[in-house]
Amino acid sequence: MNSTEAIRSIQDNIARVIKGKPHAIELTIVCLLARGHLLLEDVPGVGKTTLAHSLARSLDCSFKRIQFTSDLLPSDIVGVSIFNRQKQTFEFVRGPIFANIVLADEINRTTPKTQSSLLEAMSEAQISVENQTYSLGQPFMVIATQNPAEYHGTFPLPESQLDRFLMRLRIGYPAPEEEKKILARTPSLHPAEELQPVVTAQEVLALQSRADHVFMDESLTDYILSIVQATRHTELLSLGVSPRGGLALSRAAKALALVRGRTYCLPDDVRELAPIVLSHRVMVARPQGFVLQNFEHAERIIQDIVDSVPVPV
Amino acid sequence: MSLEQAFRISSILWAGVSFVALALGTGLPAWLVFFTTVALLVSFARAVGAMAGWFSVPQVVRSAVTWNVLVLAAFFGFVVESLTSGELLYAGLRFLMVLMIMKLFRLRDRGDYLHLHAITVVMMLAAALRADLWYVPLFIAYLALGVWTLFLHGMTRQRGNQPFTTFATTPRQQTTCPSGFEHGEEKVAACFFQMASGLALAVLCLTVLLFYALPRLETRSYHNDDGAVIRTAGFSDSVNLGALGPIKLDPRIVMRVELPDRAIPERKGLYLRGMTFDHYDGRSWVNRLGRRWPIRQTTQGIFALQGQEGGEQMAPELLSRQRILLEPLDTPVLFGAPFMEAVSGKLPAVQVDGGGSFYLPVPVANPLEYTAVSRPTTVLPADLHPSSFPSQYPEEFLRYFTQVPPTSDRIAALARTVAQHARTPYEQAMAVQDYLARHYRYSLALPVSDHTNPLEEFLFKRKTGYCEHYATAMAIMMRTLGVPSRLVTGFLATEWNEYGNYYVVRQQDAHAWVEIYLPHSGWIVMDPTPAGDENVASADGLWLAWTRLIDHLQLRWNRVVVQYSAADQLAIVQGVQTGGAAIGHKVRESFQILLETITGLMEKSVSLLVTATLGQAVATGFTVLVLLGLLRSMWLFRKRSQGKPLGMKEENERAGGPVTQLYEQMLSYLSAQGLQKPTPLGPLQFVNIVRHQWAEVSSMVEAITTLYCKERFGKVPLTLEEYDLARQRLGELRNRTRFASKSDLQRGIGAGNGI
């Protein structure tokens, strides 16, 4: 199975569950291939969890779901050491983070302490517990969801945490026809449960390494840099994109090129991904001085910047 | 030995062979030879690894700026030298050597070695201008080393283009590694050298074949034009007594004489006649009959004296032929045994003077080969009979050849005493010759004389002298006796090379003798000079045999290689012709046509160049070339220092290949129709816009854009078909835009944000 077919089969598989959202599915796969983590942000009920679940089911990988609540503790995520009576020793019991695909549902509902326990896992694909370091399985991808509409009892994600998500994605409401199809479906089983894996973990790793080797022309690197520079110099943003943001954009563009069946990146890839990859990494400047996570606003600013930077010819 | 080390050593040896060839062939200054030798030895030692850690070159010396400044300085030195001395070739060679010395101290990466190789090749080419016998072994070594070096170059390059490790580190690496575990470095096996040497042999064979097969031109403009012409004395219109003295110590070879009709040397040696002198003023001889007139060439290419051609038919066995290879001399005289009647060879024109000497119009700067035919005279019996004496001399002979200087009474008295018993002129001559040979001592070690009459000084005071004194004395004594006589200068060949059966004539064989005229026999040769110690080089031995063998080889080299000419080639072709007549004919025909064309062209261009001063033209061209090279290398250096990969064009960063240009053309067509591509828009997005706004052309735009993206951002080289496709689509688009009215377009505002 070559890479295009593999990617196509994952897309088709997920599309059987998530109706009318090919773009969201494509970007989810891009995120996977770019070894990134995905932050799904939308109102409840548009299929965030289903999307994550379908992706996990489509890959022959382990999948764990963690429901983040305000009383969730770090040990609930990474695992805990338990005293074994027979052996008279402490044994580490691995938490749900030891899975290939981890769904962190409603991540902003838990305390910053617990949220931070994800940091090491997301950036280094390893966790440290009681002076012991455990490396996580590969591929490893965290799909987090959060609800922007509801602010009561939430803890906004810190910038450091946000920066570790490759892209922030909104799913949006489906088109009426698609919604009709959803309604017509027999609700006997969770739709994602019907899916069969189409790609093995090994194949996912191979795809990821292929995405690394997608060719990016030097002029496109310069193009990414000029977008990043523009975010740092605009008046509208109080915090521009970090170097990690530029790197993320480059990686995502390569993965998107691969998903679209190309061996090289185009300016279109960068343009398309810039708002999705960059908007959660910037802080919008407010005259009043109070800062609120307003991703829609940031997205618009990034889009304006992208529309003002000339693409290389 | 690792491949890289072998490559280094072989490169330096290669350059060394070239340098030796150049140093042998041309007069390089001693300091340059010394420095180059030192540089070669040092870099060889470094390449071998013998000098690891001896010294480390300071950073200032290593910096490229220093070297560029040095090269520029050397170049300006070259310019100044070539302008002041006018010797462009030598100045250029010196510049080349300086460049090589610099390169040898700066062998760092592959490029430096390539430069060294280029210098090596140029040096060998320059050395070929003076190709002599020694060139053969050097050329073989050069070929072998060249093949090795190129092999090793290719092999080291295949192993990956990693930069060379510096000399200082390599040996250390090798010493720390146990032998056999050199980081997986490949080693040079013996079979490699066998294979490379076999290839070198093949190349050599091919070279020889090419040398003899390639058409050649009769131009030898470069040969021996450096003033290596041998200076002679006694071959101008006057000769001072004592002029031959210093010449007679010079062992340089003047000519080689083969006798095609006989394989053994003459017992007394072979007289090679040069010029005759008829007037003696007491101090010097003058040739009053020196007016020359040209001899016509017969159809066979022989220049023969008029009287001998048609008249009395000579018995061929009386004639003697000499094949003479004459080195460049400063005199136009054509030497030959007495008395020359005809010459043939590749001679432009031949002149003869009243004394029977043959001349070229001008002295030639190249070795010259010709065949002389001469008829030796013997004393006829009539001249031995006393009754014929002395009335039968023609009047003009007496006027010309019995002239004596005013103060010659003592000499006349001496002559009468010596010849008192002689009854015939021949007997008188024999008496005088015997007297001189017996009573006077031969010596070259004569102090400088300020005597007003050197002849009297010789005859009565010193009684010591050399050939000129003897000959002058005899000629004047014969004249006082009323016998016509004249002085002849030339060479007396005594050194016989038994390997090649020819005479070797050296400068020290220069000689002067006497010819006297007998009423019946004509001119006969008399030589009063006794066989002096210097004349008989009887030091037989191994060394002499060796030098003769070498000289023989040298002559063969001249014959077979240097003198190898189009005529010889034609002879070979004609020889082949007997085998296959039709093919041979065709080859010869086309060959001659080719030759004629090329010679015509050459003549034309040479005449053009000569009018525009050849030297200036060459100097200008060379200067421009060197300047361009320097500029180029500086530019390369600048690029390298900026960390950009070599060979990548800067323009590439903006404009890609041909399809990118087509794409830009397409954009301009579209914008002419009001469909402008906003610069922040990606190419695919623009296709979408076109699709919405002007669907008719979207297929063409899409095709071109796809190819453009592939070429521009994918850096995928496009095939010719793809390029043609893009051009075709562009042509269609242009036709559409031409016929489209602007109303066809539903023009949209804000195309940039439209998607």
Token pair 């002679």 is found at B232
pLDDT exceeds 60 at position B641: no
State the pLDDT at residue B492: 87
- Please tell me the distance from the alpha carbon of residue A10 to that of residue A61, in angstroms, as a whole number: 13
Residues 6+ apart with CB under 8 A from B225: B365
Contact B653 A219 (CB under 8 A): yes
Contact A313 B752 (CB under 8 A): no
Q: What is the pLDDT of residues B370-399, one digit of tens each?
A: 888 888 877 877 777 776 555 567 777 777
Mutate to test the interface with A, among B670, B684, B705, B713 (most CBs of A within 10 A): B713
The greatest distance separating any two alpha carbons of chain A, rounded to the nearest whole angstrom, comes to: 70
State the pLDDT at residue B580: 61
pLDDT exceeds 70 at position B645: no
pLDDT exceeds 60 at position B643: no
Mean pLDDT for chain A overall: 83
Q: How many CB pairs under 8 A join A and B?
A: 60
C-beta of residue A263 within 8 angstroms of C-beta of residue A3:
no
Tokens of B541: 């031995």
What's the whole-number mean pLDDT along residues A53-80? 85
A213-313 CATH pick, 2.60.260.20, 1.10.8.80, 1.10.10.410, 3.30.365.10:
1.10.8.80
B257: β partners: B324, B503
Nearest CA in chain A to B683: A268
The two beta strands, B368-374 and B333-334, are unpaired
Mean pLDDT for chain B overall: 74
Torsion, Cα A71 A76 A77 A81, to 10 degrees, reads 150
Torsion, Cα B665 B667 B669 B675, to 10 degrees, reads 180
Contacts of B680 in chain A (CB under 8 A): 271, 306-311
Please report the DSSP string for B328-378 in residue order.
PBSS-EEPBSSSEEEEEES-S-EEE-TTS-EE-SS--SS-EEEEEEE----
**Domain A1-71+98-212 class?**
alpha beta
State the pLDDT at residue B644: 39
Instruction: Using a pLDDT cut of 90, give the percent of chain B over it.
Output: 0
Nearest CA in chain B to A215: B714
pLDDT exceeds 80 at position A259: yes
In angstroms, the Cα distances linking B183 to B2, B398, B538 are 11, 97, 66
Binned at pLDDT 50, 70 and 90, residue A105 comes out as confident
One-letter amino acid for residue B481 of the chain = L
One-letter amino acid for residue A210 of the chain = R
- Please tell me the distance from the alpha carbon of residue A24 to that of residue A26, in angstroms, as a whole number: 5
pLDDT exceeds 80 at position A96: yes
Tokens of B750: 């804000």
Binned at pLDDT 50, 70 and 90, residue B179 comes out as very low
C-beta of residue A19 within 8 angstroms of C-beta of residue A176:
no
What's the whole-number mean pLDDT along residues B679-684? 82
- Please tell me the distance from the alpha carbon of residue B555 to that of residue B336, in angstroms, as a whole number: 19
More confident residue, B308 or B515: B515
Mutate to test the interface with B, among A215, A266, A306 (most CBs of B within 10 A): A266
Using alpha carbons, select from B372, B383, B287 the residue that is nearest to residue B324: B372
In angstroms, the Cα distances linking A139 to A36, A93, A202, B341 are 10, 21, 8, 106
pLDDT exceeds 60 at position B749: no
What's the whole-number mean pLDDT along residues B28-56? 77
Binned at pLDDT 50, 70 and 90, residue B221 comes out as very low
- Please tell me the distance from the alpha carbon of residue B403 to that of residue B139, in angstroms, as a whole number: 59
Tell me how far the alpha carbon of residue B356 is from its chain's centroid.
34
Element (H, E) at B667: helix B658-672
Nearest CA in chain B to A268: B682
Euclidean distance between the first and the last CA atom of chain A, given in angstroms as a whole number? 35
What's the whole-number mean pLDDT along residues A124-138? 81
State the pLDDT at residue B672: 79
Count of CA atoms in the C-beta half-sphere (13 A) of B201: 6
State the pLDDT at residue A304: 85
In angstroms, the Cα distances linking B428 to B247, B413, B433, B518, B734 are 31, 14, 8, 11, 113
DSSP annotation of B527 reads -
What's the whole-number mean pLDDT along residues B80-101? 79
State the pLDDT at residue B173: 37
Tell me the H-state helices in chain A: 3-15, 22-33, 48-58, 74-78, 112-124, 159-163, 176-184, 201-212, 218-233, 243-259, 267-278, 295-308
Q: Which one of B664, B680, B685 has the shortest CB-CB distance to A308?
A: B680
C-beta of residue B443 within 8 angstroms of C-beta of residue B532:
yes
Binned at pLDDT 50, 70 and 90, residue B215 comes out as low
- Please tell me the distance from the alpha carbon of residue B316 to that of residue B51, in angstroms, as a whole number: 72
For chain A, domain boundaries: 1-71+98-212, 213-313
Please report the DSSP string for B79-113 in residue order.
HHHHHHH--HHHHHHHHHHHHHHHHHTT--SHHHH
Q: Which one of B663, B680, B713 has the shortest CB-CB distance to A217?
A: B713
Burial B70-107 (b: 16+ CB within 10 A, else e): bbeebbeebbebbeeeeebbbbbbbbbbbbbbbbbbbb
B304: β partners: B342
CB count in 10 Å sphere of residue B60: 8
Lowest mean pLDDT among A161-165, B115-119, B568-572: B568-572
Long-range interactions of B495-498: CB distance < 8 A, separation 24+: B495/B537, B496/B265, B497/B256, B497/B548, B497/B551, B497/B552, B497/B555, B498/B548
Q: Is the peptide bond before B390 cis (omega within 30 degrees of 0)?
A: yes
Q: What is the pLDDT of residues A267-287, one digit of tens each?
A: 888 888 888 888 888 877 765
Chain A closest CA to B167's CA: distance in Å?
35
- Please tell me the distance from the alpha carbon of residue B279 to that of residue B277, in angstroms, as a whole number: 6
Binned at pLDDT 50, 70 and 90, residue B564 comes out as low
Instruction: Using a pLDDT cut of 70, give the percent of chain B over it.
Output: 71
State the pLDDT at residue B620: 62
C-beta of residue B680 within 8 angstroms of C-beta of residue A310:
yes
- Please tell me the distance from the alpha carbon of residue B340 to that of residue B272, in angstroms, as a whole number: 10
- Please tell me the distance from the alpha carbon of residue A176 to that of residue B100, in angstroms, as a whole number: 82
More confident residue, B241 or B333: B333
Lowest mean pLDDT among A222-226, B146-150, B579-583, B608-612: B608-612
Please report the DSSP string for A13-51 in residue order.
HHHTTSTT-HHHHHHHHHHHHTT--EEEE--TTSSHHHH
B297: β partners: B303
Contacts of B689 in chain A (CB under 8 A): none
Check CB contact of A307 with chain B, cutoff 8 Å: yes
State the pLDDT at residue A207: 86
Q: Which one of B680, B683, B715 has the shortest CB-CB distance to A306?
A: B680
Element (H, E) at A92: strand A89-94
Contacts of B715 in chain A (CB under 8 A): 215, 217, 264
Lowest mean pLDDT among B9-23, B144-158, B327-341, B737-751: B737-751
Binned at pLDDT 50, 70 and 90, residue B97 comes out as confident
Token pair 């089911």 is found at A57
State the pLDDT at residue B162: 44
pLDDT exceeds 80 at position B193: no
DSSP annotation of B129 reads T
B303: β partners: B297, B343
The two beta strands, B368-374 and B340-345, are antiparallel
- Please tell me the distance from the alpha carbon of residue A285 to that of residue A123, in angstroms, as a whole number: 27
Q: Is A271 exposed, middle or buried (0-12, 13-18, 19+ CB in 10 A)?
A: buried
